[in-house]
Structure 1
Amino acid sequence: MTQTSPSKKTRNRYYTGPISDHFDGTFFFNPEGEAPLGFRELMRWQFGGGRSPWPKQAPSPFPPAKPDERVDGLRVTMVGHATLLIQVAGLNILTDPVWSPRTSPFSFAGPKRVVEPGIRFDDLPPIDIVLVTHNHYDHLDLATLKRLHKAHEPHIVTPLGNDMIIRRAIPAAKMSAVDWGDRLSLRDGVSIDCEPCHHWSARGTRDRRMALWAAFVVSTPAGKIYHIGDTGFHGGINYRAACRKHGSFRLANLPIGAYEPRWFMKAQHQNPAEAVKGMRLCQAAYVAGHHFATIQLTNEGIEEPVAALEKALSEQGVAPERFRALRAGEVFDVPEV
């Protein structure tokens, strides 16, 4: 399906700005990409069967981690789903932080986590930066962001439009709203680039694609990190572009879950085989796999992404120690390259 836009009569509630190659004045879109499927297809999926049962609880084999306050090298600790603590060159970075029990607009309904966070909130080290990739509830959790602001006052970096959602809940937040291609220069040789990924956004039924989605490249003295919260593979276009622009990466954080059924999910969530292809295209030395075994969003079973990843690594000739599917509480000290 070719990307199309609804009527321009609709007002964007989050962002106003100039037209670009991915913003038509009202809606953001994936250039030469695919729009998310509509309500009819959603109902076909929801009532079509085929959803594998998940356990109500699935304890991690790792105990909750208690991170060091600062790390000179590069260490990643899995909290759960797309929430990672990245400790690099003395900085502490959280991605898409979610400590809430549900990823939903409701506290009483919606997808519920089956494993406790891999770091207890009170055990977090001082948080300097929070990266929020887009506004889906499993990535932008206002309750957690409020807690982080109260405890740490981090610098929140997020794509255009998401800042409005966060600002309404946290007026005093220190925040940077960035577009694809923007760069933030921080301190001690650290910068953050906002890069394209193939996804979409919505908090409800009337704000679809009104806020931007993005990946991030974090450049540090300890190496470059490519972080993707959600993406469809999109023929590998964005992986190739990231490699051309930034060169190789010491680490890529890539999603490997929430990909079935493919007819519905292909444009928005890559599968493990595509994630391995992406690793090779962007020339990542190591990968932390995430976005699996925490919250059931789609049809595949809780362990299917890991089994599919093992198969893909074998078929594509990638050593398994280079692409680690991290469990809650697991710590990955990324080797130097």
Structure 2
Amino acid sequence: MHGSNKRPPSDHFDGRVFFDPDGVPPKSLREVLRWQFGGARQRAAWPEWAPSPFSDTPPARVDGDKARVTFVGHASWMVQTAGLNILIDPVWSERASPFAFAGPKRHNDPGIAFEALPKIDVVLVSHGHYDHLDVATLSKLAAKCSPRVVTPLGNDQTMTRADSKIRAEAYDWHQRVELGNGAAVTLVPTRHWSARGLFDRNQSLWASFVLETPAGKIYAVGDSGYGEGKHFRDVGMSHGPLRLALLPIGAYEPRWFMKDQHMNPFDAVKALADCGASQALAHHHGTFQLTDEAIDAPVTALAQALDEAKIARERFVALKPGQVVEI
């Protein structure tokens, strides 16, 4: 138990578990088994290894009114701005799994080698799923440079139970956290859920982040279903204008099972229109096979979705691990 029952109830916490008042509960174990073992399952085969041609060696710092954004792979990003080095959902481990010997395995290396990372000041962890909250990576970062780790309520206990040196700070939706040098981050609602095991479902909170930087605001969405798009419109209205949105486009098949938790590229294009960001970058694809679609399906579908919505393809780009965007 995460001790979350010690918190006062709120509009998204009932005294025992967290919930999204605008969302839907996660699928039942029976539905999980139906997806995994039902006769109709069509799981695309991914190539064993799909290396990126890119690899980034970031500078020590980025100052002034610029931001340098590197796609590390899956949902991991590095943002350098205001003299701060910020990692989002860093996963350098071989597997996104509670086990070292089983579970989704990397199909390419992180776009920045761990040894090539400059001193990290801040880490943002969106929620407790293993492909976002990687204790082994957080522990290595704590030993190397002891960054602040900003995360939604309850995930701090997951981290510090595993390694007391992880400097975890837990916050609720809508809390704003000063990061220094004029940068700040606000945790915002997102349509998802959380669990590390079979018996801790929704005992920790999940969130997306709005990062205030000298180069403009960056809306970093971890995992999210689309629903009616309310969360994206709310962020656009409360926090706009947004310079950049980092939007997930993968892990969406089969739709009957995934649509409440993960957007497909067509949903992500609607989310971009809803939040009004001037530019978007795609993630949550091409590194870990969590669901049934082919490795290149999200990127192909993203181009199609942008064309259908009459949005220029340059406005919403899918990078490969190691590619960099400067704003």
Scaled to the shorter chain, the TM-score interval is over 0.9
One of 288, 300, 313 as aligned partner of 1:307 = 300
Task: Calculate the TM-score normalised by the size of structure 2.
Answer: 0.96
SS at match of 1:199: coil
Corresponding residue number in structure 1 for 2:237: 244
Tell me if the contact between 1:255 and 1:289 (Cα under 8 Å) persists in the aligned partners: yes
Report the alpha carbon displacement of residue 173 of structure 1 after superposing the two structures with TM: 2.8
Structure 2 counterparts to residues 164-183 of structure 1, below 5 A: 164-183=157-176
Greater alpha carbon shift after TM alignment, 31-40 vs 114-123: 31-40
Report the alpha carbon displacement of residue 191 of structure 1 after superposing the two structures with TM: 1.2
One of 57, 67, 71 as aligned partner of 2:58 = 67
Tell me if the contact between 1:256 and 1:270 (Cα under 8 Å) persists in the aligned partners: yes
Corresponding residue number in structure 2 for 1:26: 16
In the alignment, residue 60 of structure 1 is paired with which amino acid?
S
In the alignment, residue 54 of structure 1 is paired with which amino acid?
W
Corresponding residue number in structure 2 for 1:51: 43
**What is the alpha-carbon distance in structure 1 between the residues aligned to residue 184 and residue 293 of structure 2?**
37
One of 185, 210, 217 as aligned partner of 2:203 = 210
Instruction: Specify whether residues 12 and 59 from structure 1 end up closer, same or farther in structure 2 by C-alpha distance, changes over 3 A only.
Output: closer
**Structure 2: unaligned runs, 5 residues or longer:** none
**What is the alpha-carbon distance in structure 2 between the residues aligned to residue 156 and residue 198 of structure 1?**
22
Structure 2 counterparts to residues 221-236 of structure 1, below 5 A: 221-236=214-229
Report the alpha carbon displacement of residue 16 of structure 1 after superposing the two structures with TM: 2.4
In the alignment, residue 320 of structure 2 is paired with which amino acid?
R
Report the alpha carbon displacement of residue 32 of structure 1 after superposing the two structures with TM: 3.2
One of 12, 29, 33 as aligned partner of 1:39 = 29
One of 120, 141, 152 as aligned partner of 2:113 = 120
Corresponding residue number in structure 1 for 2:194: 201
In the alignment, residue 284 of structure 1 is paired with which amino acid?
A
In the alignment, residue 57 of structure 1 is paired with which amino acid?
W
SS at match of 1:150: helix
Task: Calculate percent identity across the aligned residue pairs.
Answer: 54
Corresponding residue number in structure 1 for 2:83: 90
Tell me if the contact between 1:12 and 1:27 (Cα under 8 Å) persists in the aligned partners: no
**What is the alpha-carbon distance in structure 1 between the residues aligned to residue 172 and residue 5 of structure 2?**
11
Corresponding residue number in structure 1 for 2:98: 105
Tell me if the contact between 1:131 and 1:158 (Cα under 8 Å) persists in the aligned partners: yes
SS at match of 1:180: coil
Deviations 1:168-195 (A, max 9, x none): 1221332321100111123222111010
Corresponding residue number in structure 1 for 2:286: 293
Tell me if the contact between 1:13 and 1:207 (Cα under 8 Å) persists in the aligned partners: no
In the alignment, residue 269 of structure 1 is paired with which amino acid?
H
Instruction: Specify whether residues 117 and 319 from structure 1 end up closer, same or farther in structure 2 by C-alpha distance, changes over 3 A only.
Output: same
Deviations 1:218-266 (A, max 9, x none): 1122210101110000211100110111112111111000001000000
**Structure 1: unaligned runs, 5 residues or longer:** 1-10
Q: How many residue pairs end up in the alignment?
A: 323
**What is the alpha-carbon distance in structure 2 between the residues aligned to residue 170 and residue 108 of structure 1?**
21
In the alignment, residue 40 of structure 1 is paired with which amino acid?
R
In the alignment, residue 333 of structure 1 is paired with which amino acid?
E
| Structure 1 stretches of at least 4 aligned residues deviating more than 6 Å after TM superposition | none
Q: Root-mean-square deviation (CA), in Å?
A: 1.1
Report the alpha carbon displacement of residue 204 of structure 1 after superposing the two structures with TM: 0.3
**What is the alpha-carbon distance in structure 2 between the residues aligned to residue 187 and residue 147 of structure 1?**
23
Greater alpha carbon shift after TM alignment, 38-47 vs 130-139: 38-47
In the alignment, residue 173 of structure 1 is paired with which amino acid?
I
Residue 323 of structure 1 pairs with residue 316 of structure 2:
yes
Instruction: Specify whether residues 12 and 145 from structure 1 end up closer, same or farther in structure 2 by C-alpha distance, changes over 3 A only.
Output: closer
In the alignment, residue 56 of structure 2 is paired with which amino acid?
A
Report the alpha carbon displacement of residue 12 of structure 1 after superposing the two structures with TM: 4.8
Tell me if the contact between 2:67 and 2:80 (Cα under 8 Å) persists in the aligned partners: yes
Deviations 1:106-140 (A, max 9, x none): 00000001101111000001111100000000000
In the alignment, residue 7 of structure 2 is paired with which amino acid?
G
**What is the alpha-carbon distance in structure 2 between the residues aligned to residue 16 and residue 59 of structure 1?**
46
Structure 2 counterparts to residues 132-151 of structure 1, below 5 A: 132-151=125-144
Task: Calculate the TM-score normalised by the size of structure 1.
Answer: 0.94
One of 123, 142, 155 as aligned partner of 1:162 = 155
**What is the alpha-carbon distance in structure 2 between the residues aligned to residue 299 and residue 176 of structure 1?**
35
**What is the alpha-carbon distance in structure 2 between the residues aligned to residue 13 and residue 137 of structure 1?**
20
